Structure 1
Amino acid sequence: MYKKLGGSMGDFNWSEEYQRFIGRNDGIITPEQQEKLRKSTACVFGMGGIGSPAFEVLVRAGIGKFKIVDNDVYDASNMNRQIFANIDTIGKKKILVAKEVAQKINPEIAIECYERIEEKNINKILSKADVILLAIDELKPCLIISRAARKMKVPVVEGWALPFGNVRTFTEDTPQLEEAYGLQTLGKEISNFSDEELRRMGTELLFSLGKIEGIADYYSDEVIERVASGIIPSFAPMAWLTSVLMANEALKILLNIGCIAKGPDFTIYDPYMHRIPSIGS
């Protein structure tokens, strides 16, 4: 028999379906916290190997509103790690598949889908957002998102598909993302830089993650050459580990609980050696 969450359910305008859906959250979070999630809006940029599992975790936590952004379609190479990728979704838009899956989990969910990230539409995308998950590896949109988020005082949760689980959050009280990476774009108009310059900086940024203890051990010289050409290997365990860390970070932010992994340093875990790696300068 279904057991209602403790506390007065009359305090919240929840349907019976929503109560059944989130009932097993009881004992981990309170009804008041659940209501906070139901009323919250999360923006997830990227429905790939990291973004899509993080999105599903947040959907299942009971967050009521989402804005999701991706302009790609599924192909066979996505099936090794992307949670919504299968033979039936190949060729379909990732954001539309993600929306369909989410609505089957929580039919009351509200989702806005966007395909493009531009300076002229970023304020609309981030409007009323409570938290942002940054799960894309192209530099220009990351700059657009992080700058707008800073102005709008919306926390940005970031993670990379490294062999190690990792997460960090940028807020109005932390250094900017561009400061953390030492990017020469800091304080300058994005339009001052060509697409080629931004691509080069993005590659350099990616290689800078090699200063984390033990990371380089997982990549051969051949793989490093492929990364430099834009072909980045990814593996489901490492992508999903980071996804869960990012989703949990977003939930902590929304509920104001726990310790936030504030930038510029990553909170990072090596699941292969069961250690916390050091991060070189």
Structure 2
Amino acid sequence: MTTFNYGEFTTRNLGFITKAEQAALRDGAVFVAGVGGMGGASFLALVRAGVGRFAVCDIDVFETSNMNRQVFAFTDTVGQDKAEAACAAARRINPEVQIERLGAEWIDQVADLAGRYPVIVNGTDDIAAGVALYRAAKAAGATVIDAYASPLPSVIVVRPSDPRPEERLRYPTHGKALDAIRPEDLRAS
């Protein structure tokens, strides 16, 4: 096995970013909620860029149908927990990366996670979870990066002072307490 050297690992980043910016990435912390489609692609890119600390969650396992679009889905990861497989792959890239792995319990810890991770990638495909994530991020002053798999470019950055999607898009959830949101509030009309 080759000895890992962070400086050598990230040397090709220099020129695109400065040494100070690379140090900020190494010291940076990102919460990735959902590592299937776009969340997985974002996590992989951030690990390869040299981000040093993550919280990663997913509530699903890989299926054969995921292999056409999800970066951590392979024949040998079918049936495996998505977060566990993604974390294992990340550690094969950067054995020094720090990763806090969560499952379904992440939603109960979302306020704490948003307070500890100033950048959040929303890779969830659950409207209620997304609403909770955006609300917690706003309360904590965290930035959310949202990317959707669609035919058109669809990466959205929502800074702490920006309106949340439920405000901007007038979701029926807007203004309701999380425990007051009904299933019909989460369906597209």
TM-score bracket, shorter-length normalisation: over 0.9
Give the alignment of 1:222-261 within 5 angstroms: none
Query: Structure 2: which amino acid aligns with 1:33?
Result: E
Residue type matched to 2:10 in 1?
I
Pair 1:112-2:120 in alignment = no
SS in 2 for 1:127: helix
Instruction: Verify: 1:38 aligned to 2:26, yes or no.
Output: yes
Q: 1:26 aligns with which of 7, 14, 21?
A: 14
Q: Distance in 1 between matches of 2:57 and 2:115?
A: 14
**Aligned residue identity for 1:182:** R
What does 1:182-197 align with in structure 2 at a 5 Å threshold? 182-194=170-182, 196-197=183-184
Q: Secondary structure at the match of 1:120?
A: helix
Of 149, 165, 184, which residue of structure 2 is paired with 1:161?
A: 149
Partner of 1:63: 51
**Count of matched residue positions in the alignment of Structure 1 and Structure 2:** 187
Q: Structure 1 CA distance, aligned partners of 2:185 and 2:40?
A: 25
Long gaps (5+) in structure 1 = 1-14, 205-281
The answer to whether 1:98 aligns with 2:86 is: yes
* Structure 1 residue identity aligned to 2:21: Q
The reply on whether 1:134 has 2:116 as its aligned counterpart is no
1:152 aligns with 2:146: no
Contact 1:132 1:154 in 2 (8 A): yes
Compute the RMSD of aligned alpha carbons. Answer: 1.6
Match of 1:174, as an amino acid? D
Contact between 1:76 and 1:90, CA under 8 Å: does it hold in 2?
Answer: yes
Q: Secondary structure at the match of 2:117?
A: coil
Distance 2:158 2:50 in 1: 24
| Superposition TM-score, scaled by structure 1 size | 0.63
Cα distance in 1 for partners of 2:134, 2:108 equals 14
Separation in 2 of the partners of 1:58 and 1:119?
A: 22
The percent identity for this pair of structures is: 34
User: Does 26-35 or 168-177 show the bigger shift?
Assistant: 168-177
- The amino acid that maps onto 1:133 is V
Whole-angstrom distance in 2 between the partners of 1:85 and 1:119: 24
Residue segments in structure 2 that go unaligned for 5+ positions in a row: none
Which protein is bigger by CA-based radius of gyration?
Answer: 1
Contact 2:62 2:81 in 1 (8 A): yes
How far residue 188 of structure 1 moved from its aligned partner, in angstroms, is 1.4
How far apart are the structure 2 equivalents of 1:127 and 1:190? 18
Q: Bigger relative contact order, structure 1 or 2, given CA contacts below 8 A and separation 6+?
A: 1
Q: CA deviation at 1:16?
A: 6.8
Q: CA deviation at 1:198?
A: 3.7
Contact 2:35 2:58 in 1 (8 A): yes
Q: Does 1:75 align with 2:63?
A: yes
- Superimposed CA distance per residue, residues 203-234 of structure 1 (whole angstroms, 9 cap, x where no aligned partner): 34xxxxxxxxxxxxxxxxxxxxxxxxxxxxxx
Amino acid at match of 1:110: Q
CA gap 1:173/1:116 in 2 versus in 1, 3 angstroms:
same
TM-score in terms of structure 2 length: 0.93
- 1:184 deviates by 2.0
Q: Which residue is 2:77 aligned to?
A: 89
